[in-house]
């Protein structure tokens, strides 16, 4: 799994996203025309960029900011990697995304990864 796939997994289960990009509009807020211009430029200087697939993915990612409900993970369990002391890591999942969190910080953000 590469960093972009990890970011997609985090984005998919996020309940909030903060971004500061003073020189361009962040991906999930881009219009199709804006995204196409940026991606087309990138394709002109980098090999292997499929403009149509990249634009389509960017537009599908916009669903994150318009969805009705936040993702709910209700199947948390103590990880086998947890220590026997007060330190506890829990794992849960939604579809193909596995989430990890600190039991003591259960309402805070958690890391995810996309499984295959």
From first to last of the 116 residues of the chain, give the pLDDT tens digit: 667 777 777 777 777 777 777 888 888 888 999 999 999 999 999 999 999 999 998 898 887 777 777 677 778 787 666 666 556 777 777 766 777 777 776 665 555 555 54
The number of beta carbons lying within 10 Å of the beta carbon of residue 89 is 15
State whether 61 and 82 are in the same domain: no
Euclidean distance between CA atoms 36 and 14, whole angstroms: 25
State whether 49 and 85 are in the same domain: no
At 19 the three-state DSSP class reads: coil
Residue 12 lies in a domain: yes
Q: Are 90 and 76 in contact (CB under 8 A)?
A: yes
Q: How far is CA 113 from CA 7, 11, 12, 42, 44, in A?
A: 8, 11, 10, 26, 31
State whether 40 and 89 are in the same domain: no
Determine the length of the chain. Answer: 116
Give the pTM. 0.55
State whether 13 and 37 are in the same domain: yes
Give residue 38's pLDDT.
Answer: 94
What is the residue whose two structure tokens read 């953000």?
109
Give residue 26's pLDDT.
Answer: 81
Residue 72 lies in a domain: no
State whether 108 and 88 are in the same domain: yes
Domain count, the chain: 2
State whether 60 and 86 are in the same domain: no
**Residue 23 lies in domain:** 3-65
Residue 70 lies in a domain: no
């Amino acid at each position: 799994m590469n960093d972009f796939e990890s970011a997609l997994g985090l984005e998919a289960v996020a309940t909030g996203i903060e971004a500061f990009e003073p020189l361009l509009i962040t991906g999930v807020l881009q219009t199709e025309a804006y995204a196409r211009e940026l991606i087309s430029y990138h394709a002109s200087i980098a090999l292997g960029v499929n403009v149509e697939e990249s634009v389509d993915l960017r537009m599908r990612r916009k669903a994150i900011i318009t969805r009705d409900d936040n993702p709910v993970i209700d199947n948390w369990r103590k990880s086998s990697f947890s220590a026997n002391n007060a330190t506890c890591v829990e794992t849960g999942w939604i579809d193909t995304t596995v989430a990890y969190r600190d039991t003591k910080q259960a309402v805070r953000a958690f890391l995810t990864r996309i499984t295959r």
